């Protein structure tokens, strides 16, 4: 297997493709793809975005990204795979419309313009 095929397998796997689809797309045996992926995950962990080798800490959760920049870039490319559980539906104290807030259930306003109007009375 060439280095290019290895990189392609890692790219396609990070996009969420199954072993079967990767094998079909690259014209490689299904068992070859499975074996390669198993060996890669057993011996090393790579950044999900740039595939740079990660230095894992001895304690705590295993790292998935090499930096905040890579994490944010990956999140923007794969919004459907980001596990966001802390959505709250709230009512704006300024305009009375409902809005969604992520991670902060104490918000009062849907945005800065409503805050300015409510605070200073200036539209």
How does pLDDT run across 36-85, given as a tens digit for each residue? 888 876 666 788 888 888 887 778 888 888 999 999 998 888 888 777 67
Residue predicted with more confidence, 64 or 97: 97
**Which numeric CATH code is attached to 3-81?**
1.10.10
Nearest one of 89, 87, 88, 95 to 111, comparing CA atoms: 95
Q: What mean pLDDT is reported for the chain?
A: 86
Instruction: Sketch the domain layout of the chain as residue ranges.
Output: 3-81, 87-120
Q: Stretch 90-104: mean pLDDT, rounded?
A: 90
Q: What is the pLDDT of residue 51?
A: 81
Nearest one of 80, 99, 77 to 90, comparing CA atoms: 99
Residue entry with tokens 């975005």:
49
Residue entry with tokens 């392609």:
8
What is the pTM assigned to this prediction?
A: 0.41
* Secondary structure string (H, E, C) spanning the chain: CCHHHHHHHHHHHHCCCCHHHHHHHHCCCHHHHHHHHHHHHHHCCECCCCCCECCCCCCCCCCCCCCHHHHHHHHHHCHHHCCCCCEEEEECCCCCCEEEEECCCCCCCCCHHHHHHHHHCCC
**Can you give the length of the chain in residues?**
123
């Amino acid at each position: 297997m060439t280095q290019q095929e290895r990189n392609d397998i890692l790219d396609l796997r990070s996009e969420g493709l199954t072993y079967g689809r990767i094998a079909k797309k690259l014209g490689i045996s299904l068992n070859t793809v499975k074996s390669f992926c198993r060996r890669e995950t057993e011996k090393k962990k790579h950044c999900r975005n740039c595939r740079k080798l990660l230095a894992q800490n001895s304690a705590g959760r295993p790292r998935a990204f090499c930096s905040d920049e890579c994490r944010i870039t990956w999140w923007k490319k794969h919004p459907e795979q980001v596990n966001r559980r802390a959505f709250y539906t709230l009512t704006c104290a300024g305009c009375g419309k409902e809005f969604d807030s992520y991670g902060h259930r104490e918000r009062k306003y849907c945005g800065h313009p409503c805050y300015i109007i409510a605070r200073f009375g200036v539209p």
